[in-house]
């Protein structure tokens, strides 16, 4: 039972344009959603998070949108840069004391072309 899904295995974008990465979830108990960026043979790097009580969070070029009714979130990167090329993981955390228990999607490979 995959509770967090990233249905697009890959995304290719031109430098300077917008990258939109999508994520769907099924568990209504998730209270925080996070996005991570990962390079091969390295650990994920935290990018941005959003609480389930908000619908938008912005940090520089990164914006995350949450649609609770659709159980859908997206990460927007504007403008996209070649250095953004990596695997992006969506993750979710259920409430309570589960600070360290994250459920991850399968990841989306983002390629930004110069």
Partner 1 sequence: KAGVTQTPRYLIKTRGQQVTLSCSPISGHRSVSWYQQTPGQGLQFLFEYFSETQRNKGNFPGRFSGRQFSNSRSEMNVSTLELGDSALYLCASSFPGTGPGAFFGQGTRLTVV
Residue 104 as a binder of partner 1 (CB under 8 A): the answer is yes
Residue 8 as a binder of partner 1 (CB under 8 A): the answer is no
Residue 56 as a binder of partner 1 (CB under 8 A): the answer is no
Tell me, residue by residue from 63 to 102, as one string, x for binding to partner 1 by CB under 8 A and - for no binding: --------------------------x-x-x---xxxxxx
Judged by CB under 8 A, the residue of 19, 24, 75, 107 near partner 1 is 107
DSSP string, the chain: --SEE---SEEEEETTS-EEEEEEE--TTEEEEEEEEE-TTS--EEEEEEETT-SEEEETTEEEEEETTTTEEEEEESS--GGG-EEEEEEEEESTT-TT--EE---EEEEEE-
Judged by CB under 8 A, the residue of 11, 15, 32, 65 near partner 1 is 32
């Amino acid at each position: 039972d995959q509770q967090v899904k990233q249905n697009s295995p890959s995304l290719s974008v031109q430098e300077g344009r917008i990258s939109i990465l999508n994520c769907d979830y099924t568990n209504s108990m998730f209270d925080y959603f996070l996005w991570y960026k990962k390079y091969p043979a390295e650990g994920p790097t935290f990018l941005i998070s959003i609480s389930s009580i908000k619908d938008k969070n912005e940090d520089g070029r990164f914006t995350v949108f949450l649609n609770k009714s659709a159980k859908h979130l997206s990460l927007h990167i504007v403008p996209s840069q070649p250095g953004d090329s990596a695997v992006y993981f969506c993750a979710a955390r259920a409430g309570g004391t589960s600070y360290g228990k994250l459920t991850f999607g399968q990841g989306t490979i983002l390629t930004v072309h110069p």
